[in-house]
Amino acid sequence: MKKNKTYNMFMLLLLSFVMLTTTLQAQQESQFTQYMYNTVSINPAYAGNRGSLSLLGLYRNQWVGLDGAPETMNFTAHSPIGVRGVGLGIGFTSDKIGPSSESIVSADFSYTINFSEKIQLSFGIKGGISLMDINPNKLLIYNPNDYNLEFNSSSSPIIGLGFFLHSEDWYLGVSSPNLLETEYYDDIQVSTASEKSHLYFTGGYIFTMSPIIKFKPALMVKAVTGAPLAIDVSANMLFYDQLTLGLAYRFDAAVSALAGFQINDNIMIGYAYDYDTTELGNYNNGSHEIFLRFELGTRFKAKVNPRFF
């Protein structure tokens, strides 16, 4: 009876969440090829799920050689806190593209319950603030006296929600890092930019091919009103629990090569290269992404969780 109530509650919350995000109105959020190593940035329910203090820094330089191309830095830290089922996290993102720069500071809270003997379900909430700056001096302006083209700075709140269902071999997630729609330049009728709510679906499964090889296909779908559906499929091989090699494909956008190395129990480094398959690929030298993850085992576990996600 208890499991049935938990299942019904989960389905009700999930249905309400999907209905809420699909009714919101489209500027895309930052896209990471190696999102699977930094799940908490898109899903607050992941906070504390690695069973250790996990710190990750990621840098992405997109469309190298193209003036004003996106450049993103992201830092996250999350951990269980000793209260049964509770995880906390913090995050910071700096995103620059053309004349605009956005800084996001956020905090995450998650609560995990045992859905069954081997399956856990986590609920997560994200809160924070977004600071947006527009610098017209970075543009080629036809009329420098145009009063609409002035330095503009604004801020807006962030409220996100997520669910994460997993066992030791697979995971499913649905989330929105920010449920709120934000309008910029609202006081200038001729130019209004907006940020829309994004909905993420993630999933993956780990196949143990041999005692030294694991294979993980994974999927991420990102949806936002007014923009094409973004679908990422990836396949990663883990050798000796140390070396990761993989390929990824973003439909109608890019193909990627990924590599990661677990230096020791605490430190992992990773790199990804994207080749743009659109017309834009003729005008740039691809995208580069690198991350460094540092983890410390908690007093509840002698060693960092060895999960491949």
Read off the pLDDT of residues 209-221 as tens digits, 9 standing for 90 and up.
Answer: 999 999 999 999 9
Please state, in angstroms and as integers, the Cα–Cα distance from residue 155 to each residue in 43, 62, 178, 277, following that order. Answer: 22, 25, 14, 35
pLDDT at 10: 47
- Domain range for residue 132? 2-297
Q: Is residue 101 part of a domain?
A: yes
Q: What are the tens digits of pLDDT across the range 85-114?
A: 999 999 999 998 877 889 999 999 999 999
pLDDT band at 296 (very low <50, low <70, confident <90, very high): confident
Q: Assess whether pLDDT exceeds 90 at residue 115.
A: no
How far apart CA 104 and CA 120 sit, in angstroms, is 29
pLDDT band at 191 (very low <50, low <70, confident <90, very high): very low
Q: How many domains does the chain have?
A: 1
Q: Is residue 52 part of a domain?
A: yes
How far apart CA 275 and CA 33 sit, in angstroms, is 11
Residue with tokens 């109608």: 252
pLDDT at 131: 92
Q: Assess whether pLDDT exceeds 60 at residue 147.
A: no
Q: Is residue 227 part of a domain?
A: yes
Residue with tokens 């269980």: 80
Q: Assess whether pLDDT exceeds 60 at residue 48.
A: yes
pLDDT at 28: 54
pLDDT band at 302 (very low <50, low <70, confident <90, very high): very low
Q: Report the SS3 class of residue 192.
A: coil
How far apart CA 217 and CA 134 sit, in angstroms, is 39
How far apart CA 309 and CA 168 sit, in angstroms, is 9
Helix then strand count (H, E) for the chain reads 1, 17
Q: Is residue 210 part of a domain?
A: yes
The CATH number of residue 221's host domain is 2.40.160.40
How far apart CA 309 and CA 173 sit, in angstroms, is 12
Mean local confidence (pLDDT), 218-246: 92
pLDDT at 16: 44
pLDDT at 89: 97
Q: Is residue 54 part of a domain?
A: yes
As beta bridge partners, residue 155 has 131
As beta bridge partners, residue 172 has 165, 203
Q: Is residue 68 part of a domain?
A: yes
Q: Assess whether pLDDT exceeds 50 at residue 80.
A: yes
How far apart CA 50 and CA 240 sit, in angstroms, is 19
What average pLDDT does the structure give for the chain? 83
Q: Is residue 307 part of a domain?
A: no
Q: Is residue 308 part of a domain?
A: no
Give percent above pLDDT 90 in the chain.
56
